[in-house]
Amino acid sequence: MGEDKIKQRAKRNRTLMIDESEVSSLKSRIVYDDGGDICYRDSVICGDMMAVMERLPDGFADLIIIDPPYNLSKDFGRVSFGAMADEEYKAYLEEWFPTVCRKLSPRGSLYMCGDWKCTSAMQEVIGRHLTVMNRITWGREKGRGATSNWKNSMEDIWYAVRDKNDYYYDVESVKVRRRVLAPYREEGKAKDWQESEEGRYRTTYPSNFWDDISIPFWSMKENTPHPTQKPEKLYAKLILASSREGDVVFDPFAGSGTAAVVAKKLGRHYCTIEIDERYCLYAAKRLMSAEKDKSIQGYADGVFWERNSSASQKKKK
């Protein structure tokens, strides 16, 4: 685990690292797929999602969050992915998506993340198997600079349900708190906003455009060396809106385990699969920390705060 060695690093760098001395105890927290029966509840399963899913019960997941390899050339360590033609990428999605859908409960919801290049393939494939309810666009800010094209700094999260007449959605749990730039008063009283010690804020229902979430970076304690880790704050919104406490959240492409970690922090069960053992170890270590620390950066006081408001959030505590 050369790269994981705890090195001399910048003082404020909180990226999670794994020392050799922790490996065997973390391994004991992972379920290795040996082709036999699988204990899936609250498990990080190390194996190929296609093989593992065949042995998971149908309908067991109340919420499924999928962050698959996008149609880009990307090295995930154990698996490397090469950019392909759109039709080929659709065929790749069709290899596993119908099986994922079988794992969704009759009232369940599913989210799938993608970027501009693979999003239309995703919409088409999801639409063949479930009802697409919405497309959330996440303005993630950070993106690789490009001189001959627009910088890519957005992602889509497709939202779908099995039964559009019977699904769970709790909008009250995902309200957003933003600074009021032009505070409007009526007869001297604040209209639709609150003034308090922490400033002037308005708490509103969320739209399908999210600009309040940063990509995990080195000074955040949730950060790991995984190359495409999703923010806990983003998954917290999906989990709170579309599952109840005690429900099961399933993520077949775990990476560093964000879906499982956030599910655990929010009192849900989880099941997640990852082919690369090194990433399973990050997930196991994050889950261990989540036993004691349930905080999610950017989510405090039961609401999602806009970016760069941590000083105000602290005042509330």
Ligand X SMILES: C[S@@+](CC[C@H](N)C(=O)[O-])C[C@H]1O[C@@H](n2cnc3c(N)ncnc32)[C@H](O)[C@@H]1O
**Residues contributing to the site for ligand X (CB under 6 A):** 48-50, 67, 69, 76, 78-79, 226, 228-230, 253, 255-256, 258, 273-276, 279
Minimal distance, residue 52 CB to ligand X, in Å = 8
Residue in the structure block whose two tokens are 């499924």? 64
Minimal distance, residue 181 CB to ligand X, in Å = 32
- Closest CB to ligand X among residues 236, 273: 273
Minimal distance, residue 81 CB to ligand X, in Å = 7
- Closest CB to ligand X among residues 215, 241: 215
Does residue 42 contact residue 269 with C-beta atoms inside 8 Å?
yes
- Closest CB to ligand X among residues 226, 269: 226
Q: Measured at CB, which residue is nearest to ligand X?
A: 255
* Separation between Cα atoms, residue 295 and residue 162, nearest integer Å: 31
Beta strands (DSSP E) in the chain are 30-32, 43-46, 61-66, 74-75, 80-81, 104-114, 131-139, 154-161, 176-179, 185-186, 189-190, 194-196, 199-204, 209-210, 248-251, 269-274, 299-300, 303-305
Record the tokens describing residue 42, joined without a space: 């609250």
Minimal distance, residue 15 CB to ligand X, in Å = 13
**What does DSSP say about strands 104-114 and 154-161: parallel, antiparallel, or unpaired?**
antiparallel
Q: How far is the CA of 80 from the CAs of 48, 71, 177, 225, in angstroms?
A: 14, 11, 39, 16
List, in sequence order, every residue forming a beta bridge with 300; answer none if it has no partner. Answer: 303
Compute the Cα dihedral for 296, 123, 63, 209 and give only its sign: positive
Minimal distance, residue 254 CB to ligand X, in Å = 6
- Closest CB to ligand X among residues 254, 300: 254
φ, ψ for residue 184, nearest 5 deg: -95, 135
Minimal distance, residue 113 CB to ligand X, in Å = 7
- Closest CB to ligand X among residues 124, 276: 276
- Closest CB to ligand X among residues 229, 309: 229
Question: Minimal CA–CA distance to 262: which of 279, 286, 244?
Answer: 286
Minimal distance, residue 6 CB to ligand X, in Å = 20
Minimal distance, residue 69 CB to ligand X, in Å = 5
* Helix H or strand E encompassing 94: helix 86-102
- Closest CB to ligand X among residues 215, 300: 215
> Which residues, 6+ apart, have CB-to-CB distance to 197 below 8 Å?
315
Q: How far is the CA of 193 from the CAs of 63, 186, 198, in angstroms?
A: 33, 11, 13
Record the tokens describing residue 16, joined without a space: 């999670």
Record the tokens describing residue 306, joined without a space: 């806009």
- Closest CB to ligand X among residues 108, 255: 255
Minimal distance, residue 42 CB to ligand X, in Å = 18
- Closest CB to ligand X among residues 92, 305: 92
